[in-house]
Each structure stands twice: as structure tokens, then as C-alpha cells.
Copies of this chain bind each other. A is one copy, B any other.
Amino acid sequence: MTQPLHLSLAGQALDALRELVLTGEILPGARVNEVEVANRLGISRGPLREAIRGLAAEGLVELVPHKGARVPFADAAEVRALFELRTALECEAAKLAATRRTEQDLDRMRAVSKESRKNYHAGVKFPHRLDLAFHQALLEAARSPHIAEQVRLVQQKVILTRTGLPDDPQHQHGSLDDHDELIELIEQQDWEKAAQIMRRHLSRTCAQIIKSLPD
């Protein structure tokens, strides 16, 4: 969907701006000053404005007439709403993955799970990066590019809900077990239970994120 390796300044600006928002360098509530960001990226306002439109379409900024772009806040209700969408997408992805997975797909998922456990036992908290990697591997197995793309977008918004917050509670041990259970069910092609476990997994994740939100 974002295929052609954008070499245009607008394309680069889109990537750079998305990074700025997702890393919390531009915090929720902050307005995107066009001249400032344009200078920072070393480009003019034209391409930057195009990039801002792109980010707005991804939902990472809101467009307010004559006030430009603003990174949106997200409360618990918004997180719940996002997870409703994510649940719809990833439960279906789990079903499809259970139907379509190859041995390679299973290996990829197992590899991610193994690395996660290694980190966990070494005392390192389960990094968000590896959780994303697992879901990414599952989506590859599902072979539904449109669903994968939408999951990517909603994952971004979920990340945004936690930017600027003290520190990531990370996923706990339960997530690792959920992942392994999913792998097993997908291996057995039990798509019904796979969807069920995915729903439970996302429900837990959602609850944990909401719990970590400030008041």
C-alpha cells in the first residue's frame, strides 16, 4: 500500500513525520508547526503539507481548519474503540492464518516466540518490538495484505496512545503464553479456537494498556 519506495521529498517527509509522532518527539496535543518542521527536515512547506495530509489519513494527526495539524489525544474509550477494530482484524487474520499457514510461517512465528522467551528469562522485559514482530509474522501467514495493512495502521494509533507516558509496562508473561498457544492452534489449523484465543489475547492487552493510562 505504501509500495513505491517514495523517493520524493513528500514521501520522505511522510516517513520522517510519522517517526516524529510515533517516537513522541511531537507529543499528543501538540500542533505541527509547518515552517518549523519544514526547516527541520530541510524542505519547503509544499511537500510537508502533502505529508501532513498523508499522516492525517493514517489518523496520526487531526486537521483543524486554519490551525493546521495536531496530534490527537486518546483516552480509555478511544483505546477500547481501537481494540474493537483490531480485534475484528486480527481474529479474522488468526482464522486465515490457521487455514493458510505453511511450515515456513510456523517457523517464523516460533522464532519470534523463542527470542521473546530468551529475553524474558534473561530478565529483559518483553520488548514491544517482539510483540509487534509476532503479530507481523501471524499476518504474513494469513496472506491478506489488506487486513495486514489495516492492522499496521491501528497498531500505530495504539502506540500513539502511550507516547510520552512514563514507561512502557510492556507485555507480561501471559502474552508469551498466548502467542505460543496461538502458534499451536494455527499449526493444528484449529481456526475457531485460534480466533478465540486471539480475542482473549487482545482483550488482555487492551485492559493492560488502559490500566497503564494516566487517571
Contacts and interface: CB of A to CB of B under 8 A. Distances in A.
Interface stretch (A81-89, A114-122, A162-170, A171-179): A81-89
Interface in A53-106: 53-54, 56-59, 63-65, 81-82, 84-85, 87-89, 91-93, 96
A82 B4 CA distance: 21
For this chain, the copies found in one complex come to 2
Interface in A161-208: none
Q: Is the interface of A mostly helix, strand, loop or mixed?
A: helix
A146 interface: yes
B81 A88 contact: no
A152 interface: no
A203 B59 CA distance: 30
A6 interface: yes
Contacts of A50: 49-50, 53
Given A8-B65, A91-B92, A150 B49 contact: no
B150 A85 contact: yes
Contact of A146 (B46, B56, B85): B85
Interface in A1-51: 1, 4, 6-8, 10, 46, 49-51
Interface string A108-150: 0000000000000000000000000000000000001111001
A174 B190 CA distance: 31
A144 B81 CA distance: 6
Contacts of A96: 84
Interface of A: 1, 4, 6-8, 10, 46, 49-51, 53-54, 56-59, 63-65, 81-82, 84-85, 87-89, 91-93, 96, 144-147, 150, 154
